[in-house]
Structure 1
């Protein structure tokens, strides 16, 4: 089972509303708890079962735990060579506002600086504020409000000049 399959499994469990899912295969055991009962938090436990070649099996588990860095800033795209792309650091649902009755964080044309909140991404009932790592001006918002986003999916185009 590779990382993409594990990420897809986590997304599926989050959308299904199940509180706990256990999956056991030949060389790996996965338990996903959503915390939807009373906690409001989530836990994913990956447990490696010893096999004849443990080094080859341990690498994917370590990579899964390291997939939530700060907001990655991608190199400029060819067609928009002077713009910087801000990408999603996690899988979840993209929201432009902190609450339905509040104004949006940023609009096209908004000036931003490092540390400004650009949006929130809800993942398993937790709302994660996504902050800018660069200063500039929002040129384009690439995702619709309340739509699902993938890890590393482009969210905003920013003109850093």
Structure 2
């Protein structure tokens, strides 16, 4: 019987923040790679039936990941991550945004500041994600769009990826 892995998704309205704690049955370096290498991100980041297609990625301080989440009908939702701090194998921070295929940020949707931390727990790895929004209204807009459901599905995709790599 496989152990139950931690999954905690909380919304802190007072601080306009989403906090997600998610444990994975995979070694620390593999989990880090899954969050920081485009060839792995493309296999799990988008909630099904969408798929992620990286256009470019420079995982460095000041670098950027530009990608599309593509639907089964061919619709594309372009997004980017602007990396602001990287502590290799431990944590990284980025600003998230919706954009066009060239990376020009959309004013129609709010940006959010992500902080992602990785904790080696031996046979499992804990990922702690904090997503800060400028306003409660911005946070509520993202939640209404289905962020919790989509991110939960993506975490399931990552579990699937890890189990297929064993």
Q: Same fold (TM over 0.5)?
A: no
Tell me which protein shows more helix as a share of its residues: 2
* TM-score, normalisation: structure 1: 0.29
Tell me which protein shows more strand as a share of its residues: 2
* TM-score, normalisation: structure 2: 0.29
The structure having more radius of gyration, on CA atoms, is 1
